[in-house]
Chain A
Amino acid sequence: MAEVRIYTTPTCPYCKMAKKFLQDNKVAYQELNVAEDKKALDEMLKRSKQLSVPVIDIDGQIIIGFNMPQIKQRLGLA
């Protein structure tokens, strides 16, 4: 089981799409709201070297944006 963390803001539609995609594929994830959690924001900036959301961390590998093909590939989905 992959360990998935997703950095989001509450109003970001791509974040919603990404979460929905994970839910639809029954992938468990931890959500970090960078609008409220300064520590999470700093972490996101440090790890992805940029500020746009969503940032998806799959087993330590960073994907910037809701890049479905990349996410599928990293999770081993069809």
Chain B
Amino acid sequence: MYELIIAGAGPAGMTAAVYVARKKLKMLLIGKDLGGQPNWTTGIENYLGYQYIEGPELVEKFWNQVKQFPIDLKTGQSVTKVSRLENGFQVAADDGQSYQGLAVIIATGKQPRRLNVPGEERLRGRGVTYCSICDGPVFQGQNVAVIGGGNSALTSAEDMIRIAQHIYLVSITPLTGDTVLIDKVKAAPNITIFTEYQVAEIEGEALVEAVKIAPLGGGEARRLEVGGVFVEIGLVPNSELVEGLVKLNEQKEIIVNCACETGIPGLFAAGDVTDVPEKQIIVAAGEGAKAALQAHRYLQRRAQ
């Protein structure tokens, strides 16, 4: 039985791990992606101490610090369910293994939101991608569609200007990203912008061949011939593992108080998976530290 299990190995989880390890608690850090979302972030200019740093590089620095401590680590595994036991919690992983802990910190972050349109799941990896920074270069010389109107979508479109033949930017609302990015995208010679349009379907046999879009108010649908569809419509919290166990808000984020408590004694949550109002790496790290210290206090009180 562990004293503490941390589900999620992003900035919140890793910071929590360092704090907990320094208290010499018996702990397990379990997560699918070591480093989490910063892995697919490029220039970071607001993580204090680093003027400018690439996401993966920052993750490496986090990891170099965490691995100094003797902690149990399971990466490549996600926690599928947390349930209560008589004296603690059971944490089930997607490889079939289960672990027990006296206390748990949920730091599972977020994942890309899906469009939920026909063809999306079927053609995932075959032209449909949620990681334009990974897969963008593969579509050299082709037409692509970027779905979304915020900074992620605009950055994606901007990145593809020199790579794609033509880019269709499709957003359900007027563009909401930074003006600087909007201006760049509007000035590009090979980008066509559709605002207040939604994606109706993604078409293709073996690979993506086209995307069908329709204006929100009703009207003529259009078929855009593209080889790739980059979905950049935001993120959803990875909170299914505690659904039914803790209170979630409308966006399915875990509701926590400022002590990272979920309402269930011994169960804490930190970072983007919670309803903390700002989703930033430095905020996640801070929340991870708080949750770890609170969890430690909880375990001390229990032992008395």
Contact = CB atoms under 8 A, between A and B. Distances in A.
A and B associate: yes
A49 B140 CA distance: 18
Nearest to A35: B137
A69 B134 contact: no
Interface stretch (B1-9, B122-130, B183-191, B240-248): B122-130
B39 A17 contact: yes
Nearest to B126: A50
Interface in B25-50: 34, 39-40, 42
Contacts of B129: 51-52
B135 A69 contact: no
B205 to A, nearest CB: 12
B75 A12 contact: no
Nearest to A38: B140
A68 to B, nearest CB: 4
A69 B137 contact: no
Interface in B137-152: 137-138, 140
Contacts of A11: 42, 133-134, 136-137
B77 A41 contact: no
A41 B137 CA distance: 10
B206 interface: yes
Interface residues of B, number: 25
Interface in A26-66: 34-35, 41, 45, 49-53, 64
Do most interface residues of chain A lie in helix, strand or loop, or is the interface mixed?
loop
Contact of B134 (A41, A52, A67, A68): A52
Given A13-B39, A64-B125, A49 B206 contact: yes
A35 B138 contact: yes
B76 interface: yes
B126 A13 contact: no
Given A12-B134, A53-B134, A35 B140 contact: yes
B127 A9 contact: no
Interface string A1-37: 0000000011111111100000000000000001100
B138 A41 contact: yes
B104 to A, nearest CB: 22
Contacts of B138: 9, 34-35, 41, 51-53
A12 B136 CA distance: 9
A51 B42 CA distance: 22
16 contacts: A9-B138, A12-B133, A13-B133, A14-B39, A17-B34, A17-B39, A34-B138, A35-B138, A41-B138, A49-B206, A50-B126, A51-B125, A52-B125, A52-B134, A53-B135, A53-B138
Interface of A: 9-17, 34-35, 41, 45, 49-53, 64, 67-69
- The 4 lowest CB-CB distance pairs between A and B, nearest first, are A35-B137, A68-B76, A12-B134, A50-B125
